[in-house]
Amino acid sequence: MEFTLIKAWTEDSIALVQLHRPEALNALNPEMFEELLTALEAYDADAAIRCMILTGTGRAFSAGADIKQMAGMSAVDQMASPAPARWERLRRLKKPIVAAVNGFALGGGCELMMCCDIVVAAETARVGQPEINIGIIPGAGGTQRLTRVVGKCKAMELILTGRQVTAAEAEALGLVNRVVAPELVLDEARRIAREIAAKSPIAVRAAKECILKAQETSLAVGLDFERRMFALLFATEDKVEGMQAFLEKREPKFKGS
C-alpha cells in the first residue's frame, strides 16, 4: 500500500498505522482520513493480522479536524459532507485497535482515540474536545462517546470549557488505560497488541463486538447478544484447542477457525 499522509507497516501479526502530517499536528483532512481507512480496512480484512496499533508522528496523535479546511465550509457543505460516512467505516472495524497516544488528542483526534479499543498515552499527551473555542461542538461522536465514558458532569466540563486534560487525568477519567513515558508509548502498545494477537481472533472479535454493543443498547438486549456470541464460540476449533490446552497444561495455539 502506497501512502503519503500516513505510514503503515506490519510486525508479524500486528499492523501499525501512523498519522503522518506532523506540520499540521496530524489534523484530519479528508485525504489523510481516506488513507487511514484504506489501511485499517485492508488490515481488518487480512487474516494474518490480529491486532492494529494507531499512533501519530511528532507532537500529536491528532489535533482534530482540519480547521483550515473547515473554515470555508457552510452548513450546506457540512450536511453533504462524506465525513460521517468515514467515521462510520471506522466504527465498523472488527479487529481491536490499540491507540498509542503520543501527544495532543484534541477534537476529532480525541474522537479518533475514543474509537480505538485500548489507549496507551504518553505522560506528555493532552486530551480534550476544544471545539467550543472555535464556535462549534464536537461533530464526530464527542458529545456521545465522551459522555458514555466519563459521565455527564465531566463531559459537560470538558466540552463546555474546551479544557485540555493531562494524560494522568484522562486515565483517572477512564479515557486512557495507562500512561507511560513518551519513549515507551509505542512499545507498551506493541506489548498489549501482541498479548491480544496470541488469543483466538474469533473470540477477540466476538468480545469487541459485545463490549461495543454495551455502549449502545439496553442491558437485556446486550445480555441476549452476549449469550448468542458465547454459544457461537462453542462451534470453533479455537474453543476446542483452548480448553484442551488448559486440560493438558500447555499453551494453546489458536488458528482462528
Chain residues that interact with ligand CAA, rule: CB under 6 A: 24-25, 27, 63-68, 104, 106-108, 111, 130-131, 134, 138-140, 142
Least separation in angstroms between CB 61 and ligand CAA: 11
Q: Give the DSSP H or E segment for 154.
A: helix 152-161
63 or 192, CB closer to ligand CAA? 63
Instruction: State which residue, 27 or 196, has the beta carbon closest to ligand CAA.
Output: 27
- The DSSP output letter for 215 is T
111: annotated active-site residue:
yes
Cβ 252 to ligand CAA, closest distance in Å? 41
Q: Dig out the grid coordinates for 121 from the structure.
A: 498515552
Query: Active-site residue 108, yes or no?
Result: yes
Smaller CB distance to ligand CAA: residue 27 or 206? Answer: 27
Query: CB of residue 140 vs ligand CAA: minimum separation in angstroms?
Result: 4
Distance, in Å, from the CA atom of 238 to the CA atom of 244, rounded to the nearest integer, reads 10
| Other CB atoms within 10 Å distance of the CB of residue 54 | 27
Q: Would residue 25 be called left, alpha or beta, if left means φ above 0 and alpha means ψ between -120 and 50 degrees? A: left
Which cell numbers hold the place of 4?
503519503
In the complex, what is the shortest distance from the CB of residue 113 to ligand CAA, in angstroms, rounded to a whole number?
12
Given 39, 107, 131, 207, the catalytic residue:
131
d(CA 203, CA 44): 15
Closer CB to ligand CAA, 56 or 201, in the complex: 56
H/E element holding 121? Answer: strand 118-122
Q: Which single residue brings its beta carbon nearest to ligand CAA?
A: 107
* Cβ neighbours of residue 143 closer than 8 Å, sequence gap 6 or more: 137, 155, 159
Q: How far apart are CA 116 and CA 114, in angstroms?
A: 5
Active site residues: 65, 108, 111, 131
